[in-house]
Every structure is written in C-alpha cells, then in structure tokens.
Structure 1
Amino acid sequence: MASNPKFCGICDQRHITKSSSDWCSECNQALCSECKDFHALSKASQNHSTIAISNYLALESSFSQVWGHCYVHDDKYVLFCQTHYCLLCLTCLEEHTKCEDVVRISKLTKNVKTSENFVDTQKSISDIILNLSKIQCHLEENVCDIKKQKESILREIAQMREKIDSHLDKIEHSLKTELCKEVDNQCNNTICKTGRH
C-alpha cells in the first residue's frame, strides 16, 4: 500500500507515481482511475465498493485509521458478531461458533446508502450542520456586539474621566485662587499692622 493515499498504491508498487482517484476500504488502498478499472474487473475485488479519494481524505483521522484486517490473525474482517458487537475474520469465527447472530459484513452494508436509517441519519447530520452554522453565526454576532459594547463603555469611561478631571481642575483653580487671595489679604494686613507700629 502507498504510504500516501493521494497516490495510487498499485502504481507505487510498480515504482510509478500516479495521483489516486478512489479508495477501496476492503483492500485498504488508493487507486488511480486506470487501476480502479482493473480492480473492478478482477474476480478478487469486483464486488468491492470504492469511494472518491476526496471523500476518504475528508474523513476524520480516527475513521481513516480503521484497519480492515484482524490484528490478531492478520486476516481480512468478513463477519460481524452482533452478540459481541465485534468484527471477525474467518479464524476469529472459531471463537464465536456458539453465537447465533454472526453475519457477513457485506450483507450488513449492502444497502446501507439507500436504507431509511441512513437517509434519516444523513438528514439529521445535515440539520445538525445547519444548526451549528447558525449557532456559529449567532456567536460571532454576539462577540461583535460585546466588542462594540466594550468600546462604547471605554469611551464613556474616558468621557467621565475628562469630566472628572475638568471638575477637579476647576476646584483646584478655585482653591488656589481663594488661597492666594487669603494669603495676600493676610500679608497685606500684617504689613499694614507692622507699618503702624
């Protein structure tokens, strides 16, 4: 498999670098358009479903890292045990012989895209995305309003400070004037009294 899903894995094994167009989750491999055609014709892979590479790359990393092979037996998962809610390879099946609801994965996923649950889930996801988009818009508007309110309050604080400064300046000027008059009066009175003696 090519280490980079943007390039065809089959071509990579032939030492050719070609951009991929599709992804096969069963082969866990990226395919170019030419290799996709051969992949669809091969008996081993003709029933594999592929998705556009752009859709695969758009998946979150947690989904794209799901491995389609059993890590214990290094074999492809082909069954699903509904009792234990786990994927099984053919060797794993030996441990689930008593389980009654073991089904082929292909049977479970055959009509998944046309099933009512899938359509409902897709609609729900679309609604959630729309609602999240609206919430994001409202949050951005609220942040904008809060910033405007902050600027308005800061202007009011600055204006209040100017008024307080102006008022204190007037008080200071008035006290200085009164003090100067009082000192002048006291000095004049003292000079006058001294001159009489």
Structure 2
Amino acid sequence: MASNPSVCGVCEHRHVTKPSVVWCSECDEGLCEDCKEHHSFSKATRNHEIVLIGEYMKLPAKILQIAQFCNKHNEKYELFCRKHDCPCCRKCVEDHNRCNDLTDIRTMIHNVKSSAAFQEMEHALSETAENIKRVRINREENLTSLAEKRKIVELEIRQFRNKINDYLDELQDKILKEIKTVEEKESNKIRQLLTSLMQREKEILEYKDSVENTKRYASNLQSFIAMKHVEKDIIKEEIYIQSICKSEQLHQIDISYTMNTALQELATTTKTFGEVIASFTACNIYIQKRRNKQAKIIVPPSTNHFDNVSLKVKQTIQTKLPNVCGCTFLPDGKMIFSCCTSDQVRVLKPNGSYDFDLNKIGPVLDVVYIGDNSVAVTSGGTVGSKQINIIDVKNRKVKKTLKVNSANYGVVFKDGKLMYCAGEKGIKMVSLGDESITSISTSKMSEQANVATHGDKLFYTNVINDNVTCCDFHGKHYGHSAKAVL
C-alpha cells in the first residue's frame, strides 16, 4: 500500500493526523470526512472510485499490498504491455520501446470483474478445488478399502488356522503382523499425500474467499493484477495435480494373501503362513482440465451482429425417445436426456451409444447436472408432481426428493441452488442444503418456459409473449428480447 489506510493521506501531508473514513483507489490514500467532501466536489477527483475504509480493510493482505503506482518511477500505471504481461507507467515505455502491443490500461481494466478472464479465473479456482477434493476422497476410500481387505484376509487366515494344530500359533502371529505392517506402510504413504491435498484444498478455498472480496471491494486495477497472480498460482496447482496423477501415488493399493500349499501337508518345517502382497492399479479419477488456451487479456466485445452468426452441425445424437424435454452433460462426456411422455431419463455414452435408462422415478420434465455424479429432474405441472428428484447417476437411483409445492418446468443449477420455472408462481429458487425456497420472479411462466444462467444473470423464455427476459437472482429485470425461438 502507498499509505496508511487508517489515516487521512491529505491531512498527513499537512502534518495533521485524522482518521480516514473512505479509501480512494485512484489516489491510493485514505480520506477523512472533510477531505472526502472536497474530493467529491473537485473536478479532478469527483469521478474517482471510493469505498468505505471498513470494507476496504476486508480485502486480503495480498490485495492491499498491490501497488497501483509504478515502484520504479512512482507514477501511476497508464499502459499495459501484453508482451510482458505487466502494467507500465509513462516512463516505463522507454523500457518497452520495442513492444508493439502497449494498450491503455483503462481499456484493460474496464469491467474487469465481469470479464470472461475474471470468470475463467473463478471457474479455475472452483475446478482446482474440485479436483483436489476428488483426489482426497479417492485416497480416503482407498484407506477404508485397505482396512476392509485386511479384515477379509485376517478372516481367511483364522478360518484356516482353526483347522490345524497349535503348532501354527507362532506362524499365525507372524503373518498377521506382516499384514499389519504392509497396511501401515502403504496407509502412511496415503496419509502423507492426504495431508498435502487437504492443505492445498484449504488454500484454494481461501483463494476463492479472497477472490470474492476482491470482486466486491477491490479497484479494477487491483482486481486485474490480483487475477494475474491467482492465475499463476492456479497453474502451479494444476501442474501439481497432474504430476500426482501421472505418478505412482494414485495407484490403487490392495492387500491379498497367497496361501502356502505346504501347510496343507502339515509339514512341521514350514516357516511362513503365506505371503502378503500389496498390489497397485492405476487410478481412474476423472480430473477436469482447463482448455489449453485461456483468456490472458481482456478482449473488447465483438461487434458481430447476431444475424451474422452461422451455425454448423457438429454431432447428431439419436436418443430414440419420443419427446425429449431436457438434456445435460456429465463431466466425463456422458449425455443425459429426459422424456416427459414416457417419464424416463436416458443416459448415453460420449459417442452417442446407449448406456442405460432410469425409470419409475415419477413424472419427468427437465434435467440438469448438479455435481457429485448427480442430476436434478423436474416433474412438470401434473397433479401430484410438485417435487424435484435428485438422482445418483452412478448408483442409478433417487437419493433425495425436494418438495417444492408448485409446478416445476425448466431448471438450472448454480452455487448449490436450483432455479426453476414454477408456472403461475414465476421463478423459484431452492437450496440443496437446507431445502429453503425463495421467490426470484412472480411473472407468470408458461409450461414450455426454460431458464439459463450467465454470470450473475438469469435468462428465461416466455412463450406467451415470445421473448427472453433477463434478471438477476433477486428478480431485478434488465429488459428482454422479442421474438424468442423456443
């Protein structure tokens, strides 16, 4: 930080100590109540972005330490060098005289918090946290399976031990200790990896909280530079995850027991009860990978008109269903389609071939993926269908039913909540955590209504007046486009 945020920077230059009440990101200093008023009326500063000092101090320490002035020349950043991926002041241009890609930094930071690059960074954080969580869960499950397999081996040993004489007591103790030693040895390896994974998972979640506060309270410049820092850390985490997946650390460890055939002859010279083997198989965890080329800079919005967009068929899927009402995709590429006439959900493989059907789950309309190998299926507006089923696709069964007390048609999922078209009751939102229901919009919806999200906005169709309406998650409308095609 350029100055002490708790003290008014203007008064401090006059050798007067007064507490600041707001922070000006462009001046990079705090302002007291009197200076704040002068700051807001001055022609040079009236358009500056200010934030309450209490809210500014909520920013993470790393964000507060981001300099908004050039450390070398003590001048404000005015340009951004795309070649070196760094901000520059006017004097820095001398060091970048061979760089042909210098851009006005105001263009770069304009709407940075709602830019595709910022959203990509937030998505990458969530994706990285999810990948670490998957690896951690896999290791925990392997710990459990090791213990269970150890019990199975012990039972086999004891059953055989009961058929022979007391001479084998010593050998039995030896083999049990060996099994325990192998389990402890391999379990310790997994625990060491789990400790590292949980620490990284905690750090990623802290990053997510930091990004949220940055998005809310930091200046555009701070947000932009912070985004660059976080992207580099994300790349490190991705490399770490991929290195684990390629190493032997994620090999599935198992314990098996090979009986010594000499025991069947009750030979008194037998010196071992058998052999304990720790076997390894490569893991089958699906790790989400970000696209190779990511948004490194903020690109001005396209001037192409919608009418000039041309569509090209990439793949045709034969669902063989009489009436497809909804579809969604799983992270592994599988496709899920819902059929309202036959009340079934069909799962197809990534290549479009049949996998399996889910039947006898009640009325079916739309379907959406909600994570953890689960989908939410709405039930339309028929009598007795005021519910949304949560289906475990892996185990092929309904694992939870949400009573929503209204019709439910098109549905979308975001941040642990389902937003669905509720017919005459508008758009509703139900939390998967506590199952609480809130109303987003009271506008009457048709049975063919669908809803989608983009950023912090909702878009829903209305067949009654042939339009698409945009609103936020609190129901505030931002207009609509006419002649929507359903």
Distance 1:41 1:98, change over 3 A: farther
Instruction: Measure the CA separation in 2 of the matches of 1:91 and 1:26.
Output: 19
Q: Which residue number in structure 1 is paired with residue 68 of structure 2?
A: 68
Distance 1:124 1:32, change over 3 A: farther
Report matched runs for 1:4-19 at 5 Å. 4-19=4-19
Counterpart residue type for residue 67 of structure 1 = A
1:123 CA drift (Å) = 8.4
- Greater C-alpha Rg: 1
Worse overlay, 58-67 or 85-94: 58-67
Q: Cα deviations across residues 35-69 of structure 1 (Å, max 9, x unaligned)?
A: 22322333433443222212321222222122222
SS in 1 for 2:80: strand
SS in 1 for 2:23: strand
1:104 CA drift (Å) = 1.8
Instruction: Measure the CA separation in 2 of the matches of 1:37 and 1:107.
Output: 29
1:122 CA drift (Å) = 6.5
Instruction: Measure the CA separation in 1 of the matches of 2:104 and 2:46.
Output: 17
Q: Which has the higher helix share?
A: 1
Q: Which residue number in structure 1 is paired with residue 104 of structure 2?
A: 104
SS in 1 for 2:112: coil
Instruction: Measure the CA separation in 1 of the matches of 2:84 and 2:2.
Output: 33
Q: Which residue number in structure 1 is paired with residue 31 of structure 2?
A: 31
1:74 CA drift (Å) = 2.4
Counterpart residue type for residue 90 of structure 1 = R
1:84 CA drift (Å) = 0.5
Report matched runs for 1:36-185 at 5 Å. 36-115=36-115, 118=118
Q: Which residue number in structure 2 is paired with residue 159 of structure 1?
A: none
Give the root-mean-square deviation of aligned CA atoms: 3.3
1:119 CA drift (Å) = 6.1
Gaps of 5+ in 2: 134-486
> Could you tell me the TM-score, scaled by structure 1's length?
0.52
Counterpart residue type for residue 7 of structure 1 = V
Q: Which residue number in structure 1 is paired with residue 178 of structure 2?
A: none
Counterpart residue type for residue 22 of structure 1 = V
Counterpart residue type for residue 7 of structure 2 = F
Worse overlay, 11-20 or 22-31: 11-20
Instruction: Measure the CA separation in 2 of the matches of 1:34 and 1:92.
Output: 35
Instruction: Measure the CA separation in 2 of the matches of 1:2 and 1:77.
Output: 14
Counterpart residue type for residue 93 of structure 2 = L
Q: Which has the higher contact order (CA 8 A, sep 6+)?
A: 1
Q: Cα deviations across residues 3-43 of structure 1 (Å, max 9, x unaligned)?
A: 53112111233344333222123322011233223223334
Q: Which has the higher strand share?
A: 2
> Could you tell me the TM-score, scaled by structure 2's length?
0.23
The percentage of counterpart residues that share the same residue type is 41
Worse overlay, 78-87 or 40-49: 40-49
